[in-house]
Amino acid sequence: MAKRTDANQAEIMAALRKVGASVQSLHEVGRGCPDLVVGYHGHNYLMEVKMPFQILNAAEEAWHVKWKGQVAVVYGVKEALVQIGAAL
């Protein structure tokens, strides 16, 4: 069974691609792994996409706590672009 994505994920992915980022969806990995890996100007960014006011579930929270690198929770296009240092 395919895992669902948050309703704003497609819009966020499109906006990131519009500014020249490469975007790979990871939502099928599950087990708390972030939804997106984004490449921009030689750097990689992990992003967990949430709808406004939504919180991390237990698996996501555990993954974020264990991860030793960068990971961000983004709720919309503006936050995603800020994470990679791209202007609107």
Residue 23 pairs in a beta bridge with 38
pLDDT on residue 4? 78
Domains and CATH numbers, the chain: 9-84 (3.40.1350.10)
pLDDT on residue 88? 63
Residue 57 pairs in a beta bridge with none
Residue 40 pairs in a beta bridge with 43
Counting as low any pLDDT under 50, the low residues of the chain are 1
Number of H helices, E strands in the chain: 3, 4
What is the Cα–Cα distance from 20 to 10, expressed in whole angstroms?
A: 16
What pTM did the predictor assign? 0.91
Taking only the tens place, the pLDDT of each residue in 20-31 is 999 999 988 988
